[in-house]
Amino acid sequence: MIEFQKIDKEYHVGDQIVKALHKVNFKIEQGKLTIILGPSGSGKSTLLNILGGMDRPTRGEVRFNNEIVSNFNDHELTDYRRRVIGFVFQFYNLIPSLTALENIAIAAQLNGNDHQAEDYLHQVGLSQRLNNFPNQMSGGEMQRVSIARALSKKPKLLLCDEPTGALDSKTSLKIMKILQDISKTTDTAVVMVTHNPKFEQYADHVIRLKDGQIEKTYDNKNPKFVEKV
């Protein structure tokens, strides 16, 4: 579904060139949960930004099915983000003046799904919170709203940037279960970036980054189900 082929990403900082990614190769499959692990500064966020069409590689190819995303112009990248990508962020990024339902509906309008906004709240177990504003919800509830918002676009690729980083361990497992369920029950490829190795056991596929390079990548033949741990 998604393939990175010899991806390099370099930034110019003054007179120096900083290599954020170097010769990165991997594939992400439809309907699978992929976890990208690595310490701060390993290139996780850069990789995620390139996956989501928010940044371009310096060299190499990014392919989505039969499209070469790395060759897209700005207009094509915008369209790619709209029709393919759903984003979940660490700090939710909800609009504080809108209710949970309205936060979802405004994103769902992009694909004409705003009439289904309530269904997405139900999918993440928050039907009772549809008229609540973000400041009336817990961190875990706000993160579930942000996941519902991303799902309302019916993305083919759901990108999650440290989605449990601001949550306690019990709430983190609830979020992990939702992401695992999405990957098992839909055709969406779920990619989660984290520095926490305990989530590795739940993934179908694991990519470990270190210093901008892939240290290890492997398929987990028997991923554990969150509710059984």
Tens-digit pLDDT string for the chain (229 aa):
899 999 999 998 888 898 999 999 999 998 899 999 998 889 998 999 999 999 999 999 999 998 999 999 999 999 999 889 999 988 888 999 999 999 999 888 877 766 788 888 888 889 999 999 999 999 999 989 999 999 888 899 999 998 888 788 888 888 899 999 999 888 899 999 998 888 999 999 999 999 999 999 999 988 888 887 6
Phi and psi of 164, rounded to 5°?
A: -110, 5
Q: H-type helices in 90-132, by residue range?
A: 100-108, 117-123
Domains, the chain, ordered by start: 29-56+73-228 (3.40.50.300)
**Crossing angle between the packed helical segments 100-108 and 139-151, to the nearest 10 degrees:** 20
For residue 128, what pLDDT is reported?
92
Q: Say which residue the tokens 């305990």 belong to.
A: 198
For residue 110, what pLDDT is reported?
75
* Residue 8, beta-bridge partner list: 59
> What is the pTM for the complete model shown?
0.89
Q: H-type helices in 37-196, by residue range?
A: 44-51, 74-84, 100-108, 117-123, 139-151, 169-185
For residue 134, what pLDDT is reported?
94
